[in-house]
Structure 1
Amino acid sequence: MSHSIKQIAAALGAEAFGAVDLCVSGVAEPAMAGPQDLALAMNPKYAEALPAGQARAAMLWPGADWQALGLQAAIIAPRPRFAMSGLSAMMDPGQGYAPGIHPSAVIDPTADLAADVAVGPLAVIGPRVRIGAGSVIGPQCFIGADTVLGQGAFLREGVRIGARVSIGARFIAQPGAVIGGDGFSFVTPEQSSVERARDSLGDQGELRGQSYARIHSLGSVSIGDDVELGANTCIDRGTVRDTRIGNGVKVDNLTQIGHNVEIGNDSLICAQVGVAGSSRIGNNVVLGGQTGVSDNLFIGDHVITGGATKVLANVPAGRVMLGYPAMKMESHIEAYKGLRRLPRLFRDVAALQKAVSKLGKTD
């Protein structure tokens, strides 16, 4: 599908310059762009590579001299990276799923699918499921009994959704995502070694082996509007109440959200994050890759954690946290600087000891 420079600029709320009727059918990095591509030269560094490609048009930064760059046309947006959101949506060719319901799909007769829902090969849709208009259910997906999917849902290959899950509009799940697996909830007849170690700060006392009894997950998962889940991400159902994900939450690949967790609106959960059961995450929180959040904690609004941060205590709103255990960013940086100074300190102490030793010998 091709679009003119004028059409693209209008859709993005950007300005078009030069041969605005010139059409492009794809996007590319400047050095790899062909004549039919819109080159993404959104800062001067990227624009240096334009001569290596064949682009006639490019998306540029505010104030760029498009004519000096040898272009026939240009799109200039106030915030080019934000404009990439709309541009990528226009240029996305999709996954090529066919419309309609594939003959191999298994759909319970009590399921209620809007007229234009597409269902791919070998998908299974359980009893009393409701799926909103414009939704696409990819190949080999499973949707459990009594689950509700809002309009515009897009499930990639192999997504699994358990029973009684509630999901809002415009939901996107990447391949292999699992929503509504049982929580990791087990208990021993007497206080377990883990509980004892936590209460005693490590002194476990006399130990006796015990078997674990399973606590069933009677709750489900409730997800708001405009939520996206990455590949192989898992969200466990609640023990009694639902695990809850707010509106606009974006979750990266390989993330684990435990039972009873609550995540507020517009939070960003990066790859390989693990949030243990019953923790509460506020609004507009960013958890960097491999962040670990212990159970039964609260993280306030607008908190940011750096990569591999381990949160072991509640975090007030607005803080930036780093390290293991997590501490305020400025404290972590000072502690790191202190660690780097230790070798010099050891050398200075050794030299001081040597000097004092010599003084003792002269006496």
Structure 2
Amino acid sequence: MQYTIAEIASALGLEAVGDDTLMVTGVAEPSDARADQLAMAMKPEYAEGLSQGRARAAMLWGEADWQALGLEAAILAPRPRFALSALSGMMDPGQGYSAGIHPMSVVDPSAKLGENVAVGPFAVIGADVEIGDGSVIGPQVHVGWGTTIGAGALLHAGAKIGARCTIGDRFIAHFNAVVGNDGFSFVTPEASGVEKARESLGDQGEVKGQPWARIASLGGVTIGDDVEVGACAAIDRGTVRDTRIGDGTKIDNQVQVGHNTVVGRHTLLCGQVGIAGSATIGDFVVLAGQVGISDNICVGDNVICGGATVVLSSIPAGRVMLGYPATKMDQTLESYKALRRLPRLAREVAELRKSVSKDAPNG
């Protein structure tokens, strides 16, 4: 895989300067780059490493002086990290999955596979499954009964898709991702201690242990186009209706999406996010790492929650939240600052008390 600087710039819609006939075979960090690699010097501080490597060409920020950096050619990008998105796609050699249907896979006779679908060894494709053109089903993948997956999907090794799921085009599931497992849904014959504590905000009343009865998950999971699910993430199927994930949403590793949850379009769920059942998450939301969302609440469009935020009540659209419990980020930061001042304040109060005590008349 090799490209000229001109070919890369043209594909990215960017400006190439210098000797655009230079050929590169890949990309590298500036200090590690070989002569045949394109250095990713996308900020001035990154460009400092060019002198340690041997790169002849680099991707630079828009106003960079490429000649002063000693380069023979450069690609100038007003937003280099965005350009890296398309460039990385060009340079990605893939995972090396083989074409065709591997003889050690199991494909049910009723399954319908589109053109140029690859199925790896030990993969199992269940009854009445439909998989779109050009999809890649990696080794040890399971696709359950009645599930439909669109064109151009990539299911990495070990991914599991349950029964009766509907998934759009260009879906990516990383290693050991699970879509369509049963929801965590159990109930007791009488009101449980949890129910009483929630209603009373702390008092369980008379404590009575009860066994838990399982509620079967009759719904499925519906996922839109261009959705990506990270390694070891899990999306529970709905109890009656489907759990839903909107177009373009990206789900990171070890994320839990509970049953009946609705996630909107182009939302980011970062590592270890946990969303309880029946929550509604809007469009263009960003939930940073370890954010927790309580059940049956609504998070509006364009909300951002900082890392480790715990959301216990609904959030209006456009808010930026932080903390436990979640409050507006500026208020949370002000509270943190005040908390750090408490030891000093306590010392000052103690000194004032001593001073007042000394100055008080003898009673």
Task: Tell me whether 332-341 or 150-159 shows the greater mean CA deviation.
Answer: 332-341
Classify the secondary structure of the residue corresponding to 1:75: strand
- What is the alpha-carbon distance in structure 1 between the residues aligned to residue 251 and residue 102 of structure 2? 29
- What is the alpha-carbon distance in structure 1 between the residues aligned to residue 351 and residue 153 of structure 2? 69
Gaps of 5+ in 2: none
Cross-structure match for 2:218: 218
Cross-structure match for 1:301: 301
- What is the alpha-carbon distance in structure 2 between the residues aligned to residue 255 and residue 115 of structure 1? 32
Deviations 1:304-344 (A, max 9, x none): 00100000000010001100111111110111111011112
Structure 2 counterparts to residues 70-219 of structure 1, below 5 A: 70-219=70-219
Classify the secondary structure of the residue corresponding to 1:89: helix
Classify the secondary structure of the residue corresponding to 2:216: coil
Residue 345 (structure 1) shift = 1.0
Deviations 1:176-222 (A, max 9, x none): 00000000000000000100111111111111110000000000000
8 Å contact kept, 1:162–1:181: yes
Deviations 1:86-105 (A, max 9, x none): 10000000001111111101
The one-letter code matched in structure 1 to 2:69 is L
1:230 lines up with 2:223 in the alignment: no
The one-letter code matched in structure 2 to 1:136 is V
Cross-structure match for 2:285: 285
The one-letter code matched in structure 2 to 1:355 is S
Residue 362 (structure 1) shift = 5.9
- What is the alpha-carbon distance in structure 1 between the residues aligned to residue 83 and residue 208 of structure 2? 61
- What is the alpha-carbon distance in structure 2 between the residues aligned to residue 115 and residue 93 of structure 1? 22
- What is the alpha-carbon distance in structure 2 between the residues aligned to residue 43 and residue 278 of structure 1? 43
Residue 361 (structure 1) shift = 4.9
Residue 359 (structure 1) shift = 1.0
- What is the alpha-carbon distance in structure 1 between the residues aligned to residue 31 and residue 323 of structure 2? 39
- What is the alpha-carbon distance in structure 1 between the residues aligned to residue 127 and residue 349 of structure 2? 74
Cross-structure match for 2:314: 314
Q: Please, what TM-score do these two structures have when normalized by structure 1?
A: 0.99
Residue 115 (structure 1) shift = 2.1
Consecutive aligned runs of 4 or more in structure 1 exceeding 4 Å deviation? none
Cross-structure match for 2:250: 250
Q: How many residues align?
A: 363
Classify the secondary structure of the residue corresponding to 1:332: helix
8 Å contact kept, 1:124–1:143: yes
The one-letter code matched in structure 2 to 1:315 is I
1:58 lines up with 2:58 in the alignment: yes
Classify the secondary structure of the residue corresponding to 1:339: helix
Gaps of 5+ in 1: none
Residue 360 (structure 1) shift = 1.9
- What is the alpha-carbon distance in structure 2 between the residues aligned to residue 339 and residue 207 of structure 1? 37
The one-letter code matched in structure 2 to 1:324 is Y
- What is the alpha-carbon distance in structure 1 between the residues aligned to residue 177 and residue 43 of structure 2? 35
8 Å contact kept, 1:13–1:77: no
Cross-structure match for 2:49: 49
Task: Tell me whether 289-298 or 198-207 shows the greater mean CA deviation.
Answer: 198-207
Classify the secondary structure of the residue corresponding to 1:48: helix
Q: Percent identity?
A: 64
Cross-structure match for 2:348: 348
The one-letter code matched in structure 1 to 2:79 is R
- What is the alpha-carbon distance in structure 2 between the residues aligned to residue 159 and residue 344 of structure 1? 53
- What is the alpha-carbon distance in structure 1 between the residues aligned to residue 45 and residue 334 of structure 2? 33
Classify the secondary structure of the residue corresponding to 2:71: coil
8 Å contact kept, 1:138–1:155: yes
The one-letter code matched in structure 2 to 1:120 is G
- What is the alpha-carbon distance in structure 2 between the residues aligned to residue 84 and residue 197 of structure 1? 50
1:33 lines up with 2:33 in the alignment: yes
Q: Please, what TM-score do these two structures have when normalized by structure 2?
A: 0.99
- What is the alpha-carbon distance in structure 2 between the residues aligned to residue 264 and residue 18 of structure 1? 44
Deviations 1:64-101 (A, max 9, x none): 11111111110001211000001000000000111111
- What is the alpha-carbon distance in structure 1 between the residues aligned to residue 272 and residue 327 of structure 2? 20
8 Å contact kept, 1:129–1:144: yes
Deviations 1:10-43 (A, max 9, x none): 0001100111011100100000000111000001
Classify the secondary structure of the residue corresponding to 2:360: helix
- What is the alpha-carbon distance in structure 1 between the residues aligned to residue 216 and residue 68 of structure 2? 67
- What is the alpha-carbon distance in structure 2 between the residues aligned to residue 229 and residue 132 of structure 1? 18
